[in-house]
């Protein structure tokens, strides 16, 4: 892929998956292939004071572990950054890192806040926002697609879902952009921390207001409902609002910008999409498979489990690399080919089972809308600068994608 360097990965003992720069600069495809073939369950060596962990890379094994809720838990965290450093502070309170009855009840509650009526409203907003952003980009002729288009669509939708008043949205969008676009290496850490703190304070105040005067938004739902026989605490409301902000932003944003980059790298697929509107839906799924914005999912073993002759001990951290599973040659025909007509396409980008991503329906809708608007309005798109990738061992994608757009005369 564009801008990624080739690495041989001959010595697994020298591989450090904790290194954010590795994920941003190297083509890890050969590493995933090597692990799937030679070490489908691999013990990642400790790094300094940080303990080792298991790495699972085959599609069938990933799927099996995602289904096995009895022996693997998210209750201590679902990503390396928290699992290896004392656990997630939201564990047992935030939907993404909880299990059992509490998780099931909270999940049902939050899914009820994304029902058909809400989706119809959000769909119209997504359409209008996408058309406006693309139109403005076409008028200028150039834009940073990752920032000017892909980042703005999901954040606008999240503001609607959480019931941010119209007069507050410009400020909330500005703060959330600053807080979420952490791939910007020029943004000082202190600036990101301040923006995140201000966002959390804003939603804490909003939740306090909605608790006494609820509306039909997600904040009101969380602030006034009961889960497993009790009302959510203020901190639980806030944590799950933040969960929605992060989860609702990252997958869609990174899939949009990564999807456009893939179409530029595969111009024949762009032309296929422009010729055939029926390819919008399968192209959406292929982009989700191809980009896999969340590269791994973390679990902790609740009991000893043997997999491919290796014993995973109770308490061990297990990382499930869906970025590898989505390129498994035993699950996908020609997995390293970007094919917008691919069918079937049972990718694991949103996970599987009880912890299947709550925001999947929103991310798919946003990505489909973007593709539809681009194929209708844009004749040509060309890269006009350096692609900058996010340095992270958890999320993958581009933080900057400067492009030149040419309007379709018929669009």
Which among 178-192, 210-224, 322-336 has the top mean pLDDT?
Answer: 322-336
Per-residue pLDDT, averaged over 391-397, amounts to: 91
34 vs 32: CA distance, rounded Å = 5
User: 111 lies in a domain?
Assistant: yes
Q: Which of 203, 211, 218, 234 is nearest to 112 (CA)?
A: 218
Percent of the chain at pLDDT exceeding 90: 81
Flag whether pLDDT at 247 surpasses 90: no
- Residue 73 belongs to some domain of the structure: yes
Cβ contacts of residue 108 below 8 Å, gap of 6+? none
**Does residue 156 surpass a pLDDT of 70?**
yes
Q: How confident is the model at residue 197 (pLDDT cuts 50, 70, 90)?
A: confident
- Does residue 248 form part of some domain? yes
Residue 232 has pLDDT above 50, yes or no: yes
Q: What is the pLDDT of residues 346-373, one digit of tens each?
A: 999 999 999 999 999 999 999 999 999 9
Take residue 366 and report the two structure tokens written for it: 């946003």
- Average pLDDT, whole number, for the chain? 93
In a domain, 10, yes or no: no
- Reported as type and span, the H/E element at residue 18 is none
Q: Give pLDDT, residue 291.
A: 98
Is the pLDDT assigned to residue 231 strictly greater than 80? Answer: yes
Q: Mean pLDDT: which of 197-211, 287-301, 386-400 is highest?
A: 287-301
Residue 8 falls inside a structural domain: no
Residue 143 has pLDDT above 70, yes or no: yes
Whether 234 is in a domain gets the answer: yes
> Is residue 33 one of the residues assigned to a domain?
yes
Count of domains forming the chain: 1
pLDDT at 250 over 90: no
Lowest mean pLDDT: which of 243-247, 302-306, 338-342?
Answer: 243-247
What pLDDT, on the 0 to 100 scale, is given for residue 172?
Answer: 84
User: Which domain range does residue 269 map to?
Assistant: 15-407
- Predicted pLDDT at 1: 65
Lowest mean pLDDT among 125-139, 312-326, 389-403: 389-403
Are the CB atoms for 218 and 161 separated by under 8 Å? yes
Q: Model-level pTM?
A: 0.95
Estimate to the nearest angstrom the gap between the alpha carbon of 144 and the chain centroid: 20
- Contact present, 393 and 20 (Cβ < 8 Å): yes
pLDDT top residue among 89 and 278: 278
Please give the structure tokens belonging to residue 32: 């995933």
Q: Give the per-residue pLDDT at 310.
A: 97
Q: What is the mean pLDDT of residues 126-152?
A: 96
**Mean predicted confidence (pLDDT) in 184-191:** 54
CATH number for the domain harbouring residue 22? 1.10.630.10
- Model confidence at 184, pLDDT cuts 50, 70, 90, reads very low
CB 302 within 8 A of CB 99: no
Distances from the Cα of 49 to the Cαs of 2, 31, 264, 265, 319, in angstroms?
Answer: 34, 24, 42, 41, 18
Residue 57: phi and psi, rounded to 5, are -125, -20
pLDDT at 181: 55
In a domain, 76, yes or no: yes
């Amino acid at each position: 892929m564009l801008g990624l360097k080739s690495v041989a990965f001959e010595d697994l003992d020298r591989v450090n998956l904790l290194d954010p720069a590795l994920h941003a600069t190297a083509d890890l495809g050969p590493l995933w292939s090597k692990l799937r073939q030679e070490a489908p369950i691999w013990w990642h060596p400790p790094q300094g004071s940080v303990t080792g962990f298991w790495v699972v890379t085959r599609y069938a094994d990933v799927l099996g572990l995602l289904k096995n809720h009895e022996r693997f838990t998210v209750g201590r965290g679902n990503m390396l950054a928290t699992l290896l450093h004392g656990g997630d502070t939201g564990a047992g309170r935030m939907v993404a890192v909880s299990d059992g009855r509490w998780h099931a009840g909270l999940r049902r509650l939050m899914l009820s806040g994304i029902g058909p009526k809400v989706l119809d409203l959000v769909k119209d907003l997504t359409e209008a926002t996408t058309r406006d952003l693309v139109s403005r980009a076409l008028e200028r002729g150039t834009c940073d697609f990752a920032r000017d288009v892909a980042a703005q669509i999901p954040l606008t939708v999240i503001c609607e879902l959480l019931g941010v008043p119209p007069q507050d949205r410009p400020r909330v969008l500005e703060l959330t952009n600053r807080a979420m676009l952490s791939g910007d290496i020029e943004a000082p850490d202190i600036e990101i921390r301040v923006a995140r703190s201000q966002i959390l304070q804003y939603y804490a105040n909003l939740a306090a207001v909605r608790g006494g005067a609820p509306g039909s938004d997600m904040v009101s739902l969380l602030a006034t409902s009961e889960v497993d026989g009790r009302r959510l605490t203020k901190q639980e409301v806030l944590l799950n609002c933040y969960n929605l902000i992060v989860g609702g932003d990252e997958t869609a944003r990174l899939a949009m910008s990564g999807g456009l980059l893939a179409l530029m790298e595969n111009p024949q697929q762009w032309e296929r999409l422009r010729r055939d509107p029926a390819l919008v839906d399968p192209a959406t799924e292929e982009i989700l498979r191809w980009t896999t914005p969340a590269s791994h999912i973390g679990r902790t073993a609740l009991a000893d489990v043997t997999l491919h002759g290796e014993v995973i001990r109770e308490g061990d951290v297990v990382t499930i690399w869906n970025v590898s599973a989505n390129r498994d040659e035993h699950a996908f025909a020609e997995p390293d080919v970007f094919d917008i007509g691919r069918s079937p396409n049972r990718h694991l980008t949103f996970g599987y089972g009880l912890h299947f991503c709550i925001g999947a329906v929103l991310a798919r809708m946003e990505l489909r809308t973007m593709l539809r608007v681009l194929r209708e309005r844009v004749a040509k798109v060309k890269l006009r600068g350096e692609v900058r990738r996010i340095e992270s061992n958890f999320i993958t994608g581009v933080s900057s994608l400067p492009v030149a757009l040419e309007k379709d005369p018929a669009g």
